[in-house]
Amino acid sequence: MSLADDELTGARVRFAPSPTGKLHLGSGRTALFNWLVARGSGGAFVLRLEDTDSERSKAEFELDIMDSMRWMGLDWDEGPDIGGPHGPYRQSERMEIYRGYGERLLAEGKAYKCWCSATELDERKKAAVAAGKAWRYDRKCASLAPDELARLEAEDAPYTVRFRVPAGTVAVDDMLRGDVNVDASEIDDFIIMRSDGTAGFHLAVVVDDITMEITHIIRGDDHLTNAVRHVLLFLALGAAAPRFLHHSLLFGPDGTKLSKRHGSTSVSDYREQGYLPDALVNYLALLSWSPGAGDEREIFTPAQLIEEFSIKGVSASKAIFDFDKLNWIDRQHIKAKSDSEVTDLVEPFLVKTGRGELLDLPRDRLEIAVTAVRNSLERLTDGLDQMDTFVRPAGLLDAKASAELAKANERDEALEICMRVLRAEPSSDREAAERIVETMRAEAKERGWGAKKILWPFRLAVTGLTIGPDLVYLIMFWGPSGCADRIETTARKLEGKRE
pLDDT tens-digit series, residues 397-414: 999 999 999 988 899 999
Per domain, the residue ranges of the chain are 94-247, 270-387, 392-498
Q: 339 — phi, psi (to 5°)?
A: -60, -40
Say if residue 170's pLDDT is above 60.
yes
Q: How deeply is 84 buried, as exposed, middle or buried, from its count of CB atoms within 10 A (0-12, 13-18, 19+)?
A: middle
Residues 152, 156, 157, CA angle at the centre, nearest 5°?
Answer: 65
Mean pLDDT rounded to a whole number for the chain: 94
Predicted local confidence at residue 497, as pLDDT: 64
- The percent of residues above 70 in pLDDT, for the chain, comes to 98
> 32: closest CA among 220, 231, 291?
220
Handedness of CA 212, 218, 219, 224 (dihedral sign): positive
Q: 365 — phi, psi (to 5°)?
A: -75, -35
Residues 238, 240, 243, CA angle at the centre, nearest 5°?
Answer: 155
How many Cα neighbours within 13 Å face the side chain of 209? 30
Cα(461)–Cα(486) distance, integer angstroms: 7
Cα(228)–Cα(254) distance, integer angstroms: 30
CB count within 10 Å of CB 3 equals: 17
Catalytic residues: 260
Say if residue 390's pLDDT is above 90.
yes
Cα(20)–Cα(62) distance, integer angstroms: 8
| Coil/strand/helix, residue 160 | strand
- The percent of residues above 90 in pLDDT, for the chain, comes to 83
Q: Tell whether pTM > 0.85.
A: yes
* Mean pLDDT in residue range 179-194: 94
**392-498 fold:** Arc Repressor Mutant, subunit A (1.10.10)
* Mean pLDDT in residue range 151-174: 93
| CB crowding 217-253: b at 16 or more within 10 Å, else e | bbbbbeebebbbbbbbbbebbeeebbbbbbbbbbbbe
pLDDT tens-digit series, residues 235-280: 999 999 999 999 999 999 988 988 888 888 999 999 999 999 999 9
First to last CA, the chain: 75
User: Does the domain at residues 270-387 carry the CATH identifier 1.10.10.410?
Assistant: no
> Residue 3: pLDDT band by 50, 70, 90 thresholds?
very low
Cβ within 8 Å of residue 378, ≥6 positions away? 327, 328, 330, 331, 334
Predicted local confidence at residue 264, as pLDDT: 83
| Higher-confidence position of 255 and 378 | 378
pLDDT tens-digit series, residues 18-67: 999 999 999 999 999 999 999 999 999 999 999 988 889 999 999 999 99
Among the listed ranges 83-92, 148-157, 188-197, 469-478, which one has the minimum average pLDDT value?
A: 148-157
Predicted local confidence at residue 2, as pLDDT: 43
What is the DSSP pairing of strand 44-47 with strand 111-114? unpaired
| Higher-confidence position of 143 and 457 | 457
Omega of the bond prior to 88 within 30 degrees of 0, cis?
yes
- Helices assigned H by DSSP within 309-388: 323-335, 339-352, 356-359, 363-374, 384-387
Predicted local confidence at residue 294, as pLDDT: 75
* Mean pLDDT in residue range 116-140: 87
Predicted local confidence at residue 4, as pLDDT: 44
Under CATH, which number does the domain 94-247 receive?
A: 3.40.50.620
pLDDT tens-digit series, residues 426-439: 999 999 999 999 99
* Mean pLDDT in residue range 332-336: 97
Predicted local confidence at residue 498, as pLDDT: 58
